[in-house]
Structure 1
Amino acid sequence: MSSATIERTAAARLPDGDVVAVLLTQHARIRDLFASVRATRGDVRRQAFDELRALLAVHEVAEELIVRPVAKRTAGEGETEARNSEEAEATRMLKRLEHMDVDSAEFDAVVEEFERAVGEHADHEESDEFPSILRECTAEQRHTMGERLARAERMAPTHPHPAAAGKPVALALTGPFAAMTDKVRDAMTR
């Protein structure tokens, strides 16, 4: 069974709207998008990568603003610092990828490293942070956190406009990953 399937199964066992269920579902979608990036070329690959980048922007900011403050209390500061460090490293890799030709050998090598880093990060969250949140937070608290995360997803695009995919000028208007995370952060803190 694939990691994405395991994540979807675990999410289905939790109440609708539970923050851990929402995050597990996002992890599964992220893994699916990595598979699409690996399996495709050209404009289709660019579009899959752009969608992955946008989902990661929403996911990262939601974790930063909603999950990490709670996980710091439930799992400990060391745990949250480790996850933040992993996210910072993944962001550095993503910034490198944003400037590469998606069909280049260099892109293939870096995206493989990036996928491994993001997958390990998700695995750490699922084994270390999520159990502490499930154990220490009430169902109502987790549902409230899940609602905030879902609201953030609705306010921020989960993928670039189809007309922007593979077009440098259009992508410049949607912005690189850093600009996308800033837009999500602004939307969530309004």
Structure 2
Amino acid sequence: MDASTGQDTRHAPDPDTDVVALLMAQHGEIRNLFDEVGASTGDERRDAFRRLVRMLAVHETAEEEIVHPYARRATEGGAAVVADRLREEHEAKEVLSRLDGMDTEDPKFLPELLVLRTAVMEHARAEERYEFTQLRRLNDPDRLAAMAKSLRRVEGMAPTRPHPGVESAAANIALGPVAAVVDRTRDALRKAMGKNG
């Protein structure tokens, strides 16, 4: 509430012009995709899982390339906060890699999916609490809009599934096809942001 005008100044930021709002919307989409994967079977489950992998790749890569660097240098204790988020992301990627090697109808798939969901949702809550609030407090609207624009561009450029031979061979050996989606998404994001390497 603005005391001088008596008007309610609280409004939901627009995901098109605010990277925090966009990342929060992605958290919601990720939750919905977990629900969809868990509730479906057969080809529908495989398709939903591919979309989940893509969304996680877009989201985590954007955070690694846009959010974490800013949080590391612009917030008090930022290096430790980012180190914690990177550790969480690494743990989630290991579970995702195990899932990627399974048939989605394997009896072990849904229990592993639950492990991944728990890790990803705990990670999302930590991001919202420790990074997103700092971004909102320390950034200006133009910076938030520019970050959102870069992320929107990469959403459209990100691969829908891994394509052998295009990804980083070293990462692919270590983590399998999921890593290919992450690598290609990172390349697309850097291109969208005008970065090299």
TM-score under structure 1 length normalisation: 0.83
- The correspondence of residues 144-155 of structure 1 with structure 2, limited to 5 A, is 144-155=146-157
Any stretches of 5+ residues in structure 2 without a counterpart? 1-10, 168-176, 192-197
- The correspondence of residues 150-169 of structure 1 with structure 2, limited to 5 A, is 150-157=152-159, 159-160=160-161
Deviation for aligned residue 1:186? 1.3
Instruction: Quote the residue 1:64 is aligned against.
Output: 64
TM-score under structure 2 length normalisation: 0.80
Deviation for aligned residue 1:173? 7.7
- Contact kept? 1:174, 1:180, Cα under 8 Å: no
Alignment CA distance shift 1:28-1:174 (3 Å): farther
Any stretches of 5+ residues in structure 1 without a counterpart? 1-11, 161-169
Instruction: Quote the residue 2:26 is aligned against.
Output: 26
Q: Distance in 1 between matches of 2:92 and 2:157?
A: 24
Instruction: Quote the residue 2:188 is aligned against.
Output: 187
Q: Distance in 1 between matches of 2:166 and 2:106?
A: 23
Alignment RMSD (CA, Å): 1.8
- Contact kept? 2:163, 2:180, Cα under 8 Å: no
Higher relative contact order (CA 8 A, sep 6+): 1
Instruction: Quote the residue 1:13 is aligned against.
Output: 12
Q: Which amino acid aligns with 2:155?
A: E
Q: Distance in 2 between matches of 1:177 and 1:155?
A: 16
Count of aligned positions: 169
Q: Distance in 1 between matches of 2:52 and 2:165?
A: 17
Q: Distance in 1 between matches of 2:47 and 2:117?
A: 17
Q: Deviations over 1:97-125 (max 9, x none)?
A: 01112112211111000000000000111
Deviation for aligned residue 1:82? 0.4
- The correspondence of residues 1-190 of structure 1 with structure 2, limited to 5 A, is 13-15=12-14, 16-72=16-72, 73-74=74-75, 76-157=78-159, 159-160=160-161, 176-190=177-191
Bigger Rg over Cα = 2
Alignment CA distance shift 1:43-1:173 (3 Å): farther
Identity %: 41
Q: Distance in 2 between matches of 1:87 and 1:187?
A: 20
Deviation for aligned residue 1:80? 0.5
